[in-house]
Amino acid sequence: MEKSFISGLRKIVGDEYTLTDRESLAVYGYDSTPELESLPEVVLLPKNSAEVSDIMRLCHGAGISVTPRGSGTNLSGGSISTGGVVLQTSRMNRIVEIDEENLTATVEPGVITSVLHREVESRGLFYPPDPGSMNISTIGGNVAENSGGLRGLKYGVTADYVMGLETVLADGELLRTGGKVVKDVAGYSLNPLLVSSEGTLGLFTSITVKLIPKPKGKITMLAHFPAMSDAALAVSAIIAAKVIPATLEFLDRVTIKCVEDYAHVGLPLDVDAVLLIEVDGHPVVIAEEAASVAEICKKYHCSFFQTAKDAAEALKLATARRTALSALARLKPTTILEDATVPRSCIAAMLQVIQNSARKHNVTIGTFGHAGDGNLHPTCLTDERDKDEIARAHAAFAEIFDAAISMGGTITGEHGVGLAKKRYLPKLVGESGIKIMRGIKQAFDPKEILNPGKVF
């Protein structure tokens, strides 16, 4: 990268926010994806939409690539650059407006997800998407990856809440799509295209999301199941009984053992699954729903069932699920966290595949995740220094993804394709799928400077 080009960038964002020293570049070479690393040539932290436009105009002219980054919590290598510019959105962190009449919030892309949660909840409103990294993930990143979370089953994912976007295109021009209206059929729907585009089509500079009223009450329940098949049947039966829990999470046997070893929360080691179930809504309705959940869990032979009496007890019941990742991650230095997703009805079968693959390739995989929406987190505990074990882990995951596809599921439910899942995408979407995606990429970014090398 030429010096004069960098000084042009400096003029836009200022010296303080133009990073070129070796040390800075070294720590912007990674995100949360294990094993992947590649250094940028310059890191920029612009403050507003105008600066982002100017940066893109300059980079477009010079053919320099730009990789957007929020807090670097991506799990598919999506925020790792392949040289060029890394553009960090953290300084664009204003909540511009909370519109209580239209029930929308308009934010800059660097706003932290949980900060938005707190802000809207203090007004009795609710923004449901709650990815595991919500305490540090940015709304911009959530939109780019279409992040899910624990509340996906009942409330959907980020895409279900994006109403309007202001996007800086590859050449620096501004594109406005959607807005505050619920109904809008003018032209192609571009919002859904931009959501989950993983930074390859444009850079969001303003995001308007839908808000809903905050549920008035919540009941938390925990159930232990000696047999995984029974747990899976219970999940299906709960939904069939017309109860849609806000949270329907499970832990498998490997995860249960890790959690118990680490947190000593009193989980039995002889059960196949633990389900954490939360229903939320009007107090009268959720009391009825909780009663059905209890009945169903007992019908499917749960060995233990508890309903939290108060908030403190609810927190205690949720501990096992909340500490699942910590407990697993502590066992070995490297944690490969995947997000294969299958139709809800296939969960038991999918878990069997995961266990078989782990055994076959002699790796430890603990699985936890969102039983309600079929989004599983098989988590391989390994050591990046053991190349042989890493290779076996990848072999196991290849089988797991194949199985997910064959069950009508997907290779990634909420982490994105990025670099890590690129090789699996053609299997899922086929040649025509890739061809259409390439065409869209061409239309938006003919010079291929926006997050190049990602997705396909």
Which chain residues interact with another protein by CB under 8 A?
A: 19, 21-24, 26-28, 30-34, 45, 71-73, 88, 90-91, 110, 112, 114, 133, 135-137, 325-326, 329-330, 333-335, 384-385
Rounded Cα distance, 228 and 250, in Å: 10
Tell me whether strands 95-99 and 125-126 are parallel, antiparallel or unpaired: unpaired
| Closest distance to another protein from the beta carbon of 17 (Å) | 9
| Closest distance to another protein from the beta carbon of 108 (Å) | 13
The SS3 assignment for 439 reads: helix
| Closest distance to another protein from the beta carbon of 454 (Å) | 18
* Residue among 376, 327, 336 at smallest CA distance from 353: 376
Tokens of 428: 């899922």
Rounded Cα distance, 52 and 76, in Å: 24
Strand extents, DSSP E, 282-406: 304-307, 334-337, 364-370, 375-382
DSSP per residue over 59-110, as a string? HHHHT--EEEESSS--SSSTT--SSSEEEE-TT---EEEEETTTTEEEE-TT
| Closest distance to another protein from the beta carbon of 132 (Å) | 9
- In the complex with another protein, which residue's Cβ is closer, 212 or 311? 311
Rounded Cα distance, 90 and 21, in Å: 19
| Closest distance to another protein from the beta carbon of 30 (Å) | 6
- In the complex with another protein, which residue's Cβ is closer, 183 or 385? 385
Residues near 183 by beta carbon (within 8 Å), at least 6 away in sequence: none
Other CB atoms within 10 A of residue 228 CB: 19
| Closest distance to another protein from the beta carbon of 283 (Å) | 26
- In the complex with another protein, which residue's Cβ is closer, 33 or 200? 33
Q: Phi/psi of residue 335, each to 5°?
A: -125, 115
The answer to whether the CB of 321 falls within 8 A of the CB of 368 is yes
- In the complex with another protein, which residue's Cβ is closer, 93 or 191? 93
The SS3 assignment for 378 reads: strand
- In the complex with another protein, which residue's Cβ is closer, 93 or 177? 93
Other CB atoms within 10 A of residue 442 CB: 11
- In the complex with another protein, which residue's Cβ is closer, 88 or 205? 88
- In the complex with another protein, which residue's Cβ is closer, 31 or 445? 31
- In the complex with another protein, which residue's Cβ is closer, 105 or 324? 324
- Give, as one character, the DSSP assignment of residue 215: P
- In the complex with another protein, which residue's Cβ is closer, 325 or 365? 325
Q: Which residue has the tokens 């953290």?
A: 90
| Closest distance to another protein from the beta carbon of 28 (Å) | 6
| Closest distance to another protein from the beta carbon of 248 (Å) | 22
CA distances from 356 to 249, 350, 364 (A): 22, 10, 11
Tokens of 331: 């066992």
- In the complex with another protein, which residue's Cβ is closer, 34 or 409? 34
* Residue among 398, 251, 242, 367 at smallest CA distance from 318: 251
| Closest distance to another protein from the beta carbon of 80 (Å) | 11
Q: Is 27 exposed, middle or buried (0-12, 13-18, 19+ CB in 10 A)?
A: exposed
Alpha helices in 241-282 (DSSP H): 253-263
| Closest distance to another protein from the beta carbon of 95 (Å) | 16
Kindly state the helix (H) or strand (E) to which residue 276 belongs, with its residue range: strand 273-281
- Per this entry, what is the length of the chain? 456
- In the complex with another protein, which residue's Cβ is closer, 330 or 447? 330
| Closest distance to another protein from the beta carbon of 26 (Å) | 5
